[in-house]
Amino acid sequence: MADDLSLFRGEPGVERARDIIERMRAHGVPPTPANYEIWATHVTGLRPELSREIEERLGGGEALSDDVNADLFERYFANTRLSVQILETSQSIARDLGASVSSLRGAGARAGAYADVLQVAAKSFDGGANAVLLSHLKTATDGMVEHSLRMAEQLEASSQQVEALKSALESIKVEALTDGVTGLANRRMFDETLERRMRDAAEGGADLCVLLIDADHYGRLCRNWGDALGDQVLRYIAAVLQGHAQGDMTPARLAADDFALIMPRTNLALAEALATRVNRATKSKRLSVKSSGDQIAELTVSVGIAAYRAGESVDELLSRARKCLLAAKAGGRDRIVTERQLPRVA
Sheet holding 208-215, edge to edge: 250-255, 258-264, 208-215, 301-307, 336-338
Q: Per-residue confidence at 225, pLDDT binned at 50, 70, 90?
A: confident
144 band by pLDDT with thresholds 50, 70 and 90: low
Angle at 168 between CA 188 and CA 88, to 5 degrees: 35
Is a pLDDT exceeding 80 seen at residue 142?
A: no
Which tops the pLDDT comparison, 43 or 80?
43
More confident residue, 139 or 229: 229
Cα dist. 278→253, 256, 304 in Å?
15, 19, 12
How far does Cα 242 stand from its chain's mean position? Answer: 17
- For residue range 26-44, list pLDDT tens digits in order: 898 887 777 888 898 898 8
Tell me the C-alpha to C-alpha distance, in Å, between residue 75 and each of 34, 82, 248: 12, 14, 35
Q: What is the pLDDT of residue 162?
A: 59
Counting every residue written for the chain, the total comes to: 346
Specify the higher pLDDT residue, 158 or 256: 256
Tell whether the model's pLDDT for residue 257 goes beyond 70: yes
* Domains of the chain by residue range: 5-88, 90-177, 187-345
pLDDT of residue 130: 45
Q: Can you tell me the mean pLDDT for 221-231?
A: 85
- pLDDT, residue 304, reads 97
- Report which of residues 80 and 239 the model is more confident about: 239
Collapsing DSSP states into helix, strand and coil, what is residue 279?
A: helix
336 pairs with which residues across the strands? 303
User: Whole-angstrom Cα distance, residue 22 to residue 18?
Assistant: 6
The dotted CATH code for 187-345 is 3.30.70.270
Residue 198 has pLDDT above 80, yes or no: yes
* Cβ neighbours of 50 (radius 10 Å): 18
- Which pLDDT band holds residue 81 (cuts at 50, 70, 90)? very low
* Nearest-angstrom CA–CA distance, 184 and 178: 6
DSSP-derived 3-state class of residue 46: coil
In angstroms, the CA 152 to CA 181 distance is 44
**208 near 201, Cβ under 8 Å?**
yes
Give the model's pLDDT for residue 14: 74
SS (H, E, C) 173-222: HHHHHECCCCCCECHHHHHHHHHHHHHHHHHHCCCEEEEEEEECCHHHHH
pLDDT at 149 exceeding the cut of 70:
no
Q: Mean pLDDT, to the nearest integer, of 120-128? A: 56
Task: Rounding to the nearest 10 degrees, give the CA dihedral for residues 201, 203, 205, 210.
Answer: 10
Q: Which of 43-52, 157-166, 312-321 has the lowest mean pLDDT?
A: 157-166
Helix axes 66-76, 33-44, angle to 10 degrees: 70
Q: H/E/C letters for each residue in 55-117?
A: HHHHHCCCCCCHHHHHHHHHHHCCCCCHHHHHHHCHHHHHHHHHHHHHHHHHHHHHHHHHHHH
**For the ranges 148-157, 292-301, 336-345, the one whose mean pLDDT is highest:** 336-345
